Structures are given as structure tokens and as C-alpha cells.
Structure 1
Amino acid sequence: MSRLAIDAGGTWLRYELVGKEEVCGKFPSRERELSNFIESMIEKHPDIDAIAVSFAGQVHEGVILSAPNIEVEEPEIETFVETRLGIPLRIENDLNCAALAESVYWNEKELAALYSGTGLGGGIVTGGEILHGWRSLAGEVGHLPYKEAPFRCGCGKNNCLELYASGSGIKKWMDRFGCGENPDLQRLRLSENENCRGIAETYTEALLYAAAAMVTLLNPKILVLGGGVVTHNPDLVDTVRERIGNYALAASCVGLRVEMTHIENASLEGAKLLLDTM
């Protein structure tokens, strides 16, 4: 028998079949809807007996509540798969999965993960367990009110942190100021255009604000930074280390470690950890 782990992100859908045959791959998320992909995988691999999904959206008790960057045809995904296909499925928010994987990697039970990629999100592990909140919405730092923008977030608001401290936010500002197509922070920092340089500066300030919010509210022992924007700009980790004390509650910074993720696909690794609990 084999088990299927999926990371349905805002940009890529990654998957890994764990068992008698090792199969893995990725493709742009917009190319294939999640439930259709699961059905196709089961047709190809009828020995799949469990599925775990890391999902870039708001998820509660097996139901996708919101998916700003992903097409969803079957929001009640757990019931759909278990009823129609007879296979147990567990789905978690992608940052919850990433935080779980980071907790195992760092061997730390009090940890927060802050990832800036297509979106901006956080995951929390306390006492060695994922912190879900009442409706599994804990960690949605990207949707904290920050500053009004001339465009809207995928959630519908126009003042989310995600509009400033994410890859999609950077792209929106670049389109507004005519800064080109490639959302490269280093290129923006060196631009001769003041507005383009300002995008990079604003991103850093917003990321510090997000990090400070998580540190002040959650008091983790380790804050792990990840996501595509951060991993392509590792100097951001040093910036957060050096400046977090200017933004967060001082007492919450005592003994705090700020680390770059060392896991290539933490959300997918977290989904694999979920499989071990099924």
C-alpha cells in the first residue's frame, strides 16, 4: 500500500507518494484543481490508502473555508474523498503543516513559523501540538490590518499585511509603479526609481511588523522564517534578528531565536507527518 502527501500552495502543487514506489512531482497550482488531481492519482495508483493535504487557505474540520489563490471545486474535501473514493483524507493549513515540520526539525515544542511566499502566513506549535484556534484560523498574520492599499487582498480587504509582505503584494505594487515583471527584492533595492526602491523598503518593514506580532502574541522560543521571498533573500533573516527588538515586546525577545528554514518543502514534509497519525 502507499500514501499520498500533497502540498497545494498558491503557486505550486507538490506531491509525494510514500510507500512501495516513490513518486513525486510538482506543477503550477492553477493547472489542476485539487479534487480532480486526487482522483487522477488514485486512478494511477489504486493502492493509495491514505491522503494528507497541506493547503494554502483557511481549513476547518476537513472543509476549505477560503482559498484566495487556489481554485476549489470541492470545499468539503475530506467528505468528498472519503465518501466517493473510500479513502481517509486529512487536510491542514499549509503553515500549520510547515510549523509542525519545523517543530520536529528543530526539536522545539514552542515554535512559530512565518512564511512569506505567494502569500504571508504563520503557523504555531505550542506544547508540541498545532495551535488551531476555535475555527482553525490561528496564525492568519497576513490578514492583520496594516495600511490601506489601492488594491485588495484575496480575502477582500484592502489593508492586509499580505499586501505589503508577500510575493503577490510585491507584484501588485510593481504593476502599480511600472517596476517590471520580476518581483526581485534585490533588483528593487538597487533600482533608480524611487517608487521601486520603496517597495523593497516597505516589504521589509511589513515583514518586521508581522514577525513582531507573532513574537509578542505567541512568545515562541524559535521564530522560523521561510517562504519563497525569504529563501531568495536570506539577508532578511539577519534583518529580523537585528531589528525585532525595535518592534516586538522586549520581554518576548529574551532568549528568542530567529532562524531560516532548513527544510526544502516544509509544508509537504508536514503533510507527510500527518500521514503518520492516520
Structure 2
Amino acid sequence: MIAPRDARGAGTRAVGLDIGGTKTHGVVLAEDGSILAQVRESTRSGAEGVVDTAERVFEALRRDVGEPLTLPVGVGVPGLVDVGRGMLRHAVNLGVNGDDLPLRDLLADRLGVPVVLENDVNAAALAARALSGADDVVYLSVGTGLAAGLVIDGRLRRGEHGAAGEIGHLPVDPAGAECGCGQTGCLETIASGRALARAWPTPDGPPAADLFAAAAAGDVKAIAVRDRFCWGVASAVRALGLTIDPERIVLGGGVSEVGEPLRVEVVRQLRALGEGSPFLASLGLADRLSMVPLHYPVAAAGAALVASG
């Protein structure tokens, strides 16, 4: 079981980097699975920017730990990942589009250690499984984008093309906004950090925290924006429940830093969706929903687990 706490002085076990569209988060896990060191840096867009950012974070971790980091590094990235070849495609949130990018080898050359590449949400799903103790777990990441990692019978399900769990690109509104994937009205255009920032722009600070605070204070517009956003998240949970039927569904990602108010509102939307459907209500999706512990770097910790085997 991964322990969501600091543990300086314990032996180094694994290193993980979570490269997101906004931030890159690196962790060093101790032998007991607890966090020995962690570093965050803003992610530079594009292939060269991603590699430069990863190097900055890795070097900062090495300075923080105070010893060489010679272990393999697990790296989680958004987009379609060919794990065997170490290739990345269609990571639109990183500014990486189109043809295969040999990111694993680029990072290994720059960091000077072996690198294991994995989709970021898949990596996080492994950490979510360790935290929950369940063998059938769906990890739903509500971050810059929207995607799910699937652990079925204790094993990651990546899919034939690495696209399993790309729930954010499921179209739900033919009259909706254009998605970065090229489709229209995808769930990601409703229930993601980017969508929320468009619907509730703030001059500084996380828009999610500001939105939920304004809604709690009774702001009518904030309540409408919050409810549509949480309906989108609940719709993703419903789709995952109907297709995977997992034991646990774990919410995470940057927007989940809102904490318990997010879970409460998503549960309310799930119960509303089931009001007209005894079948849907019988599935008890709201009762299977939990959240990653607040401020726990689940994707970076999962990337470290990928590297440690």
C-alpha cells in the first residue's frame, strides 16, 4: 500500500515524473512506498520543452534527496503511448501532435538513466489501486483534460491503440464546443480544467476553487456553471460504470484539489441521473465513488510504480 505521507531518511525505492499540460510533478518514493521528495515545475510546451522540463524536475529531485538517482525513472504523459516502443502520439495538451515522438529515448538520453514511459492516467490508476486495495479500479482524472485509467483484475487495460479510457473524447453534445481531438461536444469540453477555466475565468488562482466558493456563497451563475461541470463528471462516471462496472471509481486530477465539495456535487448529479432509471440507480455508482487523498501526487507516484515494476 502506498502511504500518502513524507518519510525522509528511508531508502530510495523509485522515481516518477508526471508530465502534465500545466505542471510537471516529480516524486521519489522510499522503500516503504511513502514520499521521500517531490518537486513541481511549470511544463514548457512542445517536444523540446517537455524534455527540458523533465530534466529540471529530475535535477531538483536529485538535489533534494542529496544522492545520485540512478534507478529507472517512470514517466507518465497524456496522449497515446506505445509502451513497448516508448513512443508518444496525439498529446495535444503538451503541444505534441501527429507522428510518433520517441519520448522515452529522448528522456533517457537527457536524464542519463533508463526511462519507462506510460500514459499518465494509466500510471495514476496503479497508484489508485494501491491506495484502494481493490483489483477492479477506474481512476478518473479531471485535470487539464478528462481521461480514465482502467485496472481490471489487477492489470492495466491499455487497449489495442493505447486509447482505453479516453472518456473525455466521448461526444455527448452535437451542438457543443469543438474539442482539441477534432470532434464536437466531447465530455472534455464540459468536464475538464480547461473547460472550467473557459466557463469561469479568474484573474489568478485556480478557477475550480473560486467557482465552488462562489457557488457555495449563492452566486446563481456560479451554481449553474458548477452544476453543468459536475453533470459532465457524473456522465463520465456513468459511462465508465456501464462499460467497465468496476469495484471502485476514484476521482483525481488537478480539479480534485477542490476536495470533498467536488465529490458531494458529483454524487448529487449521479443520484439525479438515476432518479428516472431504476436500472441505473440499482448500480449504486455514487456509493462506489471516492477521491484521492487531498494533495497526494497520485500520477507521479503511479509513474514511480511503473518504473519499479
Name the TM-score, length of structure 2 as normaliser. 0.75
Change (3 A) 1:19 1:108: closer
Equivalent residue for 2:302? 270
2:81 corresponds to which letter in structure 1?
V
Equivalent residues of 1:141, 1:161 under 8 A apart: yes
Equivalent residue for 2:238? 212
Equivalent residues of 1:11, 1:29 under 8 A apart: yes
Equivalent residue for 1:259? 290
Q: Deviations over 1:129-150 (max 9, x none)?
A: 1110101111111111012466
1:25 corresponds to which letter in structure 2?
V
Structure 1 residue 125: Cα displacement: 0.4
Which residue of the other structure, out of 91, 94, 98, is the alignment partner of 1:70? 94
Structure 1 residue 170: Cα displacement: 1.1
Is 1:6 the equivalent of 2:12? Answer: no
- Distance in 1 between residues matched to 2:184 and 2:219, nearest whole Å: 25
Equivalent residue for 1:57? 79
Equivalent residues of 1:215, 1:253 under 8 A apart: no
Is 1:142 the equivalent of 2:177? Answer: no
Percentage of pairs with the same residue: 27
1:269 corresponds to which letter in structure 2?
A
1:64 corresponds to which letter in structure 2?
L
How many equivalent residue pairs?
Answer: 273
The residue correspondences of 1:214-253 to structure 2 (distance < 5 A) are 214-244=240-270, 247=273, 249-250=280-281, 252-253=283-284
- Secondary structure (helix, strand or coil) at the match of 1:108 reads coil
- Secondary structure (helix, strand or coil) at the match of 1:262 reads coil
Change (3 A) 1:80 1:252: same
Change (3 A) 1:98 1:188: same
- Distance in 2 between residues matched to 1:226 and 1:203, nearest whole Å: 15
User: Alignment RMSD, CA only?
Assistant: 3.3
Equivalent residue for 1:185? 211
Equivalent residue for 2:52? 36
Which residue of the other structure, out of 111, 117, 121, is the alignment partner of 2:147? 121
Unpaired runs of 5+ residues, structure 2, are 1-11, 275-279
1:260 corresponds to which letter in structure 2?
M
